[in-house]
Structure 1
Amino acid sequence: MNKQALATEPDTAARPGAGRGVGVLVSGQAAAQVLTLAVAPILTRLYTPQDFGAVAVFAGLLAFFGVVACLRYDLSIALPASDRDAENLVALCLLCIAATTALCMLGVLLFGDSLILALNWSVDASTLWLLPFGVASAGLFTVIERWMVRQQYFGQLAQARLLRSVIANAVQLAGHGLGALALMGGTVIGHGTGGLFWAVREIRRRGCGNIRLVRIVALARRYKDFPLFSTWTATFNVAGVHLVPLIFSALFGAAVVGHFAFALRMVSAPITLIGAAIGSVFFAQAPAALRAGRLPEAAEALRRKLASAGIPALVLLICAGPDLFAAVFGENWRMAGHYARWMAPWVYFQFQFSPLSCLPDVMELQKMELTAQFSTFAVRLATLALCYGFSVPADPSIAVFSVVSAVAYLGMLTLFMSRVGVGLRAMLAHDARQILIFCALALPSILLFSGAPDWRSLASAIYFLALSAVWMRRTLGAKRPETAQA
């Protein structure tokens, strides 16, 4: 083996394996998410639903720009065999971020005031200048995440995510006197500080000697399907979620948006806590599994674990969502609990879909992914248009949109899994069986729960938490199907 090959091989001896990588990432992400959840009851008493509504609009705009900040070239960082090519892809991503940030600044300068009026957004025009900085910080953090996943620096990635959460929550708590501005600023500063710290560290460690403009151009052409197809795919996916707060803000005002966005943020916590971490590790391992012919077994094993792990949250939200939100976040947030109840099936299927959404990228099926995401986006947008056309109030509109979203995510999950040979009937049979088993075990808790702060509800909560802990331990410790076959 020559010296150049040695220089570009990953240092696998210093890195955790796939199983340990999942544990490290989940632990780090768990710490970050637990911190966010612990701070949430304080934030809901410092900020109003209107403040959260204003932030939801900002988050929606940031998501639209942020998802295309790298033109999706960040997804290609894990694919080359050579670290030298991966370093040049990182440089390509940074150039794309710089261009996107500049375009965002121009958009704020030319159309900022008009955008605020169109969205019925209760913020000052100067607040919009946080948006370009948010795009740059979110894009940088995304690139750092992809690089760490490629190198399997799962411990460092866990630390980066925890640092981002600590800084964001600290800014939001300390700056509550500034209202919604502090909520927005915390997100931007958290991404920027976390990404910049690890970017500087990697640059000092590795240097920039392998970066060549001619190589950047060649790689941009090699992976051109990512900007040509995955960019639109990601935009449609983001629009399906973040377009809703923008539309609701224009139609129903900041309070409705605040309840909706906060409910979505809380019920999406399992996706952030477990799904994103496992998805990062799966994306790092999937190319090798594909080359070895083990991708179908690996994908279905992961999906089954995710499906089983999401059942306790699904049952909890459906049975006690409004009472849970009122008790934890304050009575003013009970309506958010109703929204969370309606979102539960949607988030359950999204929890399974999110880590597996890299399958088309691994198999280079970006055209199929684009068609699926566009169809999903069109159906969800049509749902909102019909609700608006028939003057459906805010609450029924959110309920209908949640049901359609659940069906849409199940459809995309079925499509992607079918490409690796796993059918809908097998998936539904497994999931239905696991849900029935858990509901049977949770029946004493469901019957005891009264909705009032009494001994029955306390006993119900203790039993449900103990059952969920045992269930999660059994689920995450289950043997993988491919191991059994071997």
Structure 2
Amino acid sequence: MIDIRKNLKSEFSRNVLTLITGTTVAQMIPILVSPILTRIYTPEDFGILALFISVSTILSSMICGRYELAIILPEKEEDAINILALGFILAAFLSFVLFLIVVLFHHTLASALGNLKIEIWLYFIPLVIFTLGVFSLLNYYNNRKKYYEDLAKATVLRSIVLSIVQILGGFFYKGAGGLVIGQIISSFSANLKLVKNISKDKVLISKINKNHILTVANKYKRFPQFSMWSALANNMGFQFYNVLVSAYYSSKTLGFYSMSNRVLGMPATLVGGAMAQVFFQHAAEEKQKTGLTKSIFIKTLKKTLIISLPTFLIIFLIIEDLFALVYGESWRVAGSYVKIVTPMFFIRFNVVTVSNVMNIYGKEKALLIWQIALCLIALLSIFTCSYLKYPFEISLYAMSIGLSLNYLILLYMVYNLSNKGKLF
């Protein structure tokens, strides 16, 4: 038993290290090229990019019905590959429907978003959310198969393509065009790397059929019923917040805020996401064997605290001066935004890493309620502050405090599930 635990611990650490190495390299690339981009593009350009990403992210949360989460769970590979096929079909169909909506209502949609400059780029959103949906499906399937090196390489490739295209695009397009085109092209690159692990297994692919797809669709229907709306609420909280920043304040303010998320939010999310991927796979195995996920929960939480505590503390202390030094004095305000939300991102990093315990125990309904609360807190903070004519910084403080408390509630629920098998 001791040897088995040691092997599991060693495997977990090795897999986490593989993914974190890949995501760290992947995120270092955009951060390193950011000083170049801030001298090519304006804060308003970054605001348009943030708006494009926000709309794409909100819609991508529904594109596969969240069936990608179910890929990890079945014991049989035939079930997993048919879930993958189901997700692909949903992504293709819904992307096509969305394209028709954009063709018919592109000007109305741009007006509703409060920025007519994004109108031409709305046509590309269906394509981007399709590639994001496929990436999520491939990501979970490769996670199931423990192809962590390929996941790391795909993430790095995506980052390299994004940075190169955005830099080159700045010399050929005026405005935000280069930034958005980089986002579009990079979405394809990672998929090409990950799909090879599936396409080479012809025997498994041959087991995809209509009846099996309908069977797994019904068996795991709780994911579109609850998890899809949960993910939508989560993305609405963070991404629709960006839309409202642009509408209620300005594209420039959104540009500063999006840069703060680029430097802090994305690396924190992706490094935490790397650990969450490995945690999900190992926790699902532990639940099947012991009925609980106590051991892997405690082990993972300790690791995230060791990583995040000194990192976020240093960020909090130096970030304003660092922004001014690296990006120019005009970007100091973005550093001040980072400082405000750093405590919330610290808590979020640790909680999100272990939050898939809710899906493992089938608590999607409870997670949906929690996500709705998350969304309401974020949106109410900006609605209230804009109505009262408060500056944007007050909205950030309100959101950061409210979301921090909500994440701590989720941590309490996850802890109880892992240790007792119940929420409260």
By the TM > 0.5 criterion, same fold? yes
Matched with 1:198 is 194
How far has the Cα of 1:17 moved from its partner? 3.0
- Once the two structures are TM-superposed, the CA of residue 242 in structure 1 deviates from its matched residue by 0.6
Give me the whole-angstrom Cα distance separating, in 2, the residues matched to 1:200 and 1:101: 23
User: What's the counterpart of residue 374 of structure 1?
Assistant: 372
1:92 is aligned to 2:90? no
Write the distance in 1 (CA, Å) between the matches of 2:238 and 2:297: 25
1:383: which partner in 2? 381
Equivalent residues of 1:342, 1:403 under 8 A apart: no
Separation of aligned partners in 1, 2:358 and 2:112: 36
Q: Which residue of 2 aligns with 1:136?
A: 130
Match of 1:60 among 32, 51, 54: 54
2:38 maps to a residue whose letter is: T
Q: Which amino acid aligns with 1:61?
A: V
What's 2:5 paired with? Answer: none
- Aligned twin of 2:4: none
Whole-Å separation in 2 of the counterparts to 1:169 and 1:118: 30
Question: Given that residues 361 and 417 in structure 2 are in contact (C-alpha distance below 8 angstroms), is that contact kept between their aligned partners in structure 1?
Answer: no
- Aligned: 1:282 with 2:284: no
Deviation, 1:186, is 1.1
Q: How far off is 1:273 after superposition?
A: 4.7
Q: Deviations over 1:23-48 (max 9, x none)?
A: 21111112111112111121111111
Choose 396-405 or 66-75, whichever is displaced more. 396-405
Higher Cα radius of gyration: 1
1:324 to 310, 317, 322: 322
Shift of 1:314: 2.2
Is this contact kept in 1: 2:154–2:189, CA < 8 A? no
1:227 is matched with which residue? 224
Deviation at 1:200, TM superposition (A): 4.6
8 A contact 1:65–1:100 mirrored in 2: no
Give the secondary-structure state (helix, strand or coil) at the position aligned to 2:390. coil
Residue among 343, 346, 351 paired with 1:345: 343
CA positional deviation for 1:84: 1.0
1:392 is paired with a residue whose SS is coil
Letter in 2 for 1:390: L
Q: Which residue of 1 aligns with 2:3?
A: none
* Equivalent residue number for residue 46 of structure 1: 40
Which residue in 2 is equivalent to 1:104? 98
Instruction: Identify which range, 202-211 or 32-41, moves more after superposition.
Output: 202-211
Amino acid corresponding to residue 158 of structure 1 in structure 2: A
Residue 192 of structure 2 is aligned to residue 214 of structure 1: no
Q: Does the 8 Å contact 2:30/2:159 carry over to 1? A: yes
CA contact (8 A) 1:120 1:253 kept: no
Q: For the residues of structure 2 that align with 1:108 and 1:413, how far apart are their CA atoms?
A: 39
Residue aligning to 1:241: 238
With 266-275 and 371-380 compared, the bigger mean Cα shift is at 266-275
Q: Are 1:137 and 1:192, in contact at CA under 8 Å, matched by a contact in 2?
A: yes
Greater shift after overlay, 37-46 or 341-350? 37-46
Distance 1:265 1:405, change over 3 A: farther
Match of 1:315 among 301, 313, 319: 313
Cα distance in structure 1, aligned partners of 2:409 and 2:335: 26
**Aligned equivalents of 1:313 and 1:106: distance in 2?**
45
Residue pair 1:140, 1:192 contacting (<8 A) in 2 also? no
Give CA-to-partner distance per residue, 1:217-256, whole Å, 9 cap, x none: 0000000000000001000111111111100111111000
1:73 pairs with 62, 67, 70, which one? Answer: 67
**CA distance in 2: counterparts of 1:89 and 1:401, whole angstroms:** 36
Deviates more, 1:161-170 or 1:108-117: 108-117
Per-residue CA deviations over 1:148-183 (Å, capped at 9, x if unaligned) read: 000000111111111111111111011013231221
CA distance in 2, matches of 1:386, 1:86: 45
Q: Confirm whether residue 115 of structure 1 aligns to residue 115 of structure 2.
A: no
The one of 12, 16, 19 aligned to 1:18 = 12
1:334 maps onto 2:328 in alignment: no
Matched with 2:182 is 186
The answer to whether the 8 Å contact 2:48/2:118 transfers is: no
Structure 2 CA distance, aligned partners of 1:227 and 1:217?
14
Query: Which residue does 1:447 correspond to in 2?
Result: none
Report if aligned partners of 1:321, 1:338 keep a CA contact under 8 Å in 2. yes
- For residue 400 of structure 1, report the CA deviation from its aligned partner: 2.0
Given residue 267 of structure 1, which amino acid in structure 2 is its aligned partner?
Answer: L
Question: How far off its partner does 1:193 sit?
Answer: 2.2
Which deviations, in whole Å up to 9, do the C-alpha atoms of 1:290-317 show, x marking residues without a partner?
A: 1233511211221122123111232223
Whether the aligned pair in 2 keeps the contact of 1:137 and 1:195 (CA below 8 Å) is yes
Structure 1 stretch displaced more, 282-291 or 224-233:
282-291
Note the residue ranges of structure 2 that are not aligned, 5 or more in a row.
Answer: 1-9
Quick one: distance in 2 between partners of 1:270 and 1:307?
A: 16
1:110 CA displacement: 2.5
Amino acid across the alignment from 1:187? Q
TM-score scaled to structure 1, two decimals? Answer: 0.81
TM-fit CA distance, 1:126: 2.0
Note the aligned Cα RMSD (angstroms): 1.7
The answer as to 2:143 corresponding to 1:145 is no
Q: CA deviation at 1:365?
A: 0.8
| Alignment match of 2:260 (pick from 263, 267, 272) | 263
Runs of 4+ in structure 1 displaced over 4 angstroms?
A: none
Change (3 A) 1:305 1:201: closer
8 Å Cα contact 1:130/1:185 also seen in 2: no
Q: Return the letter of the residue paired with 2:163.
A: N
Aligned partners of 2:116 and 2:38: how far apart in 1? 18
Q: Given that residues 56 and 129 in structure 2 are in contact (C-alpha distance below 8 angstroms), is that contact kept between their aligned partners in structure 1?
A: yes
Q: Which amino acid aligns with 1:110?
A: L
Contact 2:82 2:209 in 1 (8 A): yes
